[in-house]
Structure 1
Amino acid sequence: MTERPTLDRSDTRVTHAEGIGGQVSAFIDRVKAGDLGSLPVIVGLVIIWTIFTLINPIFLSSNNLVNMLFDCSTTGVIALGIVCVLMLGEIDLSVGSMSGVASALIGVLWVNGAFPLPAAVITTIVLGGAIGTIYALLRTHLGMPSFVSTLAGLLALLGFQLWLLGNTGSINLPYGSWIVNFGQLMVMPDWLSHALALVPAVVMLWAGMRTMERRRAANLHAGSVGGLIVKVAALVVGLQVVVWYLNLGRGVPWMFGVFVALVVIMNYAFTRTKWGRSMMAVGGNAEAARRAGINVRRIYLSAFALCSMFAAFGGVLSAARLATASQQAGTGDVNLNAIAAAVIGGTSLFGGRGSAWSALLGIIVIQSIANGLTLLNLSSSLRYMITGGVLAIAVIVDSLARQSRVSHGRA
């Protein structure tokens, strides 16, 4: 007597995903199962842009969007590091202070100490890695909650920043220097920005074809080539239109290009490497991951070290953007915006789920709110309230989606 083949729910969804109609049906099934992906943040972004554009058409002008991309890059890099620790269900409250210390070090080492700029930048990033390593050791060896250790680190780093800057309180970076031009003026040539905009589509096509070949080799349903081509074509058209519109103004900032490149690298690390899969496993259940043979301590060490290193690099970019290292660098709403960007973009506060793209999407949402309210000449108090409301909605959506996934798994 032969056994009847079984087909789980995921295989059923894939089997029905033929053509555009099937793709839409599969997408609806994923949403019903609580797998919302980037849908909430994209819908929110469309609503925010629509409202601000109706009130002030300058909001979506090409030059204003270029300025917004410059501003997104500094805090966005810090948010990318926050994604690493949130995926483990942890937190780092000191990223703002770490970025402020990095900014101060650039001024002290490069401007006052005559260090070569590359050496100063590397020193700040290495210091960030060392600080993150201390947090990880406190968490894994002493069991200290990351909330407590990073809060202590916030205060210590803030004091270190004030000590570095001394009585002057600020150090101006030389105008006309490469780093200041990079943070304020440098944009890509039109042809290069259009060429780089083709890269994601080429990667999607290559990865999709490889996945199809592997599934066919394993006698599994491989999906539709036509569906893949439709996705690739839509991506090409969308990115080329965006780049064309930005080039009507100043162009695509090199600083934003560096940020996107880091997002792409981290996305590959999260989704295509053993380390990334281990991150997801530890965030989902650290004890189960340990029993499965994953070195949990090493995962914590890498996550906290990366978080602080990204915070330090974000501080370097911030100094370049403002052309100064001051006592105010890294203070104010930097912590709020970095953490909120990761959560609003789709990274779960409960651990085990996140994406590098969430840092990119989340910071665009936050900077859109800040930029739109600035154009309307409204107070920063309203910006804080709106950002807090958006953050609360994002956490509620994440919690409801998590409950939906749990109930769907039991069904």
Structure 2
Amino acid sequence: MSETPTTEAPAEQSGPALADLQDERLINQQSFSAVASQFVHRLRGGELGSLPVIIGLIIICTVFYAIEPRFLSSFNLVSIARFAAPTGIISLGIVLVLLLGEIDLSVGSLSGFASAVMAVVVVDNGQPVLVGMAAGIAVGATIGLFFGLLRTRIGVPSFVFSLAGLLAFQGALFYVLGDKGTITIPASSSLVQFAKFGYVPAGLSYLLVLLIAAAYLGAELLNRSRRAKAGLANSWLPLPLVKAGLLAGGLVFLTYYLNVDRGWPNVWALFTVLVVVTDLVLRKTRWGRHVFAVGGNEEAARRSGIKVDRTYVTVFVLCSSLAALGGLMAAGVLGSVSQNSGTTGLELTAIAAAVIGGASLFGGRGTAYAAMLGIIVLQSIDSGLNQINVDSSVRFMTTGAVLLLAVMIDSVSRKARTSSGRG
């Protein structure tokens, strides 16, 4: 008689198998080979994560460096980070909306409208920059609240009211700017000094990246402790140590390389903080779990007691507020607000960045880091094509092709997850 195969408990666990390893189909990650096996298992099941984006970014950097070595110069990388951050902040709000399976086409024109409000308050009315920024963000939050109520109280599809907003806010931008058409923000203002000329000091930048790696390791060890107390198995202990070490080493080297030129732009540091905080909120709070639940199955979420309408409203408020903040940072980077602010396809770029970074158009899947990865890919493509003097028509076609490829990968991985029971 053949024996029924069983899964061994981890070496540190004696007695009965841990709760989540009593099912023999679950993989015990207590060795390097087991970790590799589970990684392959996840890929086959459609759990691709950020792997396609990272591979794509490596290919992009390799190709452009082979054509124009200046592409990977510290000067160009700093410029990529500075110009990518404002759109990345807008894309972060798009990620939140996509997690609900919704869309917001108005973020581009809204960002321009909010920056125009700020410019009028600061330049024309002589108010402090913080007052102007508060006014711009308040405009965004109010519009987000209005959108959320349209979605929950009246049932207007997000595609419809955001498309209407795209047109309306563009008109509002023209109205606020008036006959002047352009408002120049003084270079001495704190906004321009922060966004255009501000960089993180070298010593502080090293400290911050090491704190990021230490925070990651601390979170992993805390998670291991909680799983052990709950009677659940933990991953192979060297794994989080290796990940934290690689993260620290990579960030320290990148920081050193950027400091050869000007260092990390302040606006990119702000974007990074927003991404990290948003990621923690999505993964560690009840509200974040509700967002994923509503995006995965709205009716099931409602029946489980989740306040679905409140979730929709808060997400649209955050999305519009981040769009306004991104517009303010873009105005600071450029040093002015014009009738072109936010109206040159910015909303499409922000949506493309979120999707390329890994946020699913079908809702319920994605991370805050999708906005960061996606905007790095798009800004790298744009910078590389500019350096080799490619016509703008080719840049648009290339961006469209990359977006289509990202959606195709998302659709294929979604089918793989469904067929493997992970859907």
Separation in 1, partners of 2:134, 2:357: 29
Partner of 2:406: 394
Asked if the contact 2:20/2:232 (under 8 Å) is kept, the reply is: no
**Which of the numbers 221, 233, 258 marks the counterpart of 1:221?**
233
Partner of 1:64: 76
Change (3 A) 1:353 1:24: same
Q: CA deviation at 1:183?
A: 1.9
Asked if the contact 1:106/1:325 (under 8 Å) is kept, the reply is: no
Q: CA deviation at 1:18?
A: 2.4
Query: What is the percentage of aligned positions where both structures have the same residue?
Result: 47
Separation in 2, partners of 1:194, 1:410: 40
Over residues 297-326 of structure 1, what are the superposed CA-to-partner deviations in whole Å (9 max), with x where a residue is unaligned? 000001111000000000100110110010
Separation in 2, partners of 1:336, 1:201: 33
The answer to whether 1:84 aligns with 2:96 is yes
Over residues 126-149 of structure 1, what are the superposed CA-to-partner deviations in whole Å (9 max), with x where a residue is unaligned? 110110111111111111110000
Q: CA deviation at 1:20?
A: 3.2
Q: Name the amino acid aligned to 1:327.
A: Q
Aligned to 2:198, the other structure's residue is in SS state coil
**Which of the numbers 342, 350, 354 marks the counterpart of 2:354?**
342
The answer to whether 1:277 aligns with 2:277 is no
- Normalising by structure 2, what TM-score? 0.93
Separation in 2, partners of 1:74, 1:308: 14
Separation in 1, partners of 2:25, 2:360: 24
The answer to whether 1:361 aligns with 2:381 is no
Partner of 1:244: 256
Aligned to 2:420, the other structure's residue is in SS state helix
Separation in 2, partners of 1:329, 1:14: 52
Aligned to 1:16, the other structure's residue is in SS state coil
Change (3 A) 1:325 1:9: farther
Q: Name the amino acid aligned to 1:142.
A: I
The answer to whether 1:319 aligns with 2:331 is yes
The answer to whether 1:34 aligns with 2:46 is yes
The answer to whether 1:203 aligns with 2:227 is no
Change (3 A) 1:213 1:5: closer
Written as runs of structure 1 = structure 2, the 5 A alignment for 1:171-182 is 171-182=183-194
**Which of the numbers 61, 76, 81 marks the counterpart of 1:49?**
61
Moved more, 6-15 or 232-241: 6-15
**Which of the numbers 151, 156, 174 marks the counterpart of 2:168?**
156
Asked if the contact 1:15/1:223 (under 8 Å) is kept, the reply is: no
Paired residues in the alignment total: 408
Separation in 1, partners of 2:20, 2:417: 16
Over residues 144-197 of structure 1, what are the superposed CA-to-partner deviations in whole Å (9 max), with x where a residue is unaligned? 110000111111111111000001101001123221122222111111111111
Change (3 A) 1:124 1:11: farther
The answer to whether 1:106 aligns with 2:118 is yes
Q: Name the amino acid aligned to 1:24.
A: A
Q: CA deviation at 1:391?
A: 0.3
Partner of 2:299: 287
The answer to whether 1:194 aligns with 2:206 is yes
Aligned to 2:179, the other structure's residue is in SS state coil
Separation in 1, partners of 2:288, 2:22: 22
Q: CA deviation at 1:12?
A: 5.8
**Which of the numbers 5, 28, 32 marks the counterpart of 1:16?**
28
Instruction: List alignment gaps of at least 5 residues for structure 2.
Output: 1-15
The answer to whether 1:384 aligns with 2:396 is yes
Change (3 A) 1:128 1:55: same
Separation in 2, partners of 1:231, 1:5: 27
Separation in 2, partners of 1:368, 1:329: 21
The answer to whether 1:299 aligns with 2:322 is no
Separation in 2, partners of 1:277, 1:270: 6
Partner of 1:267: 279
Q: Name the amino acid aligned to 2:143.
A: I
Asked if the contact 2:20/2:26 (under 8 Å) is kept, the reply is: no
Q: Name the amino acid aligned to 2:120.
A: V
Aligned to 1:220, the other structure's residue is in SS state coil
Asked if the contact 1:13/1:29 (under 8 Å) is kept, the reply is: no
Moved more, 87-96 or 228-237: 228-237
- Normalising by structure 1, what TM-score? 0.96
The answer to whether 1:183 aligns with 2:195 is yes
The answer to whether 1:328 aligns with 2:327 is no
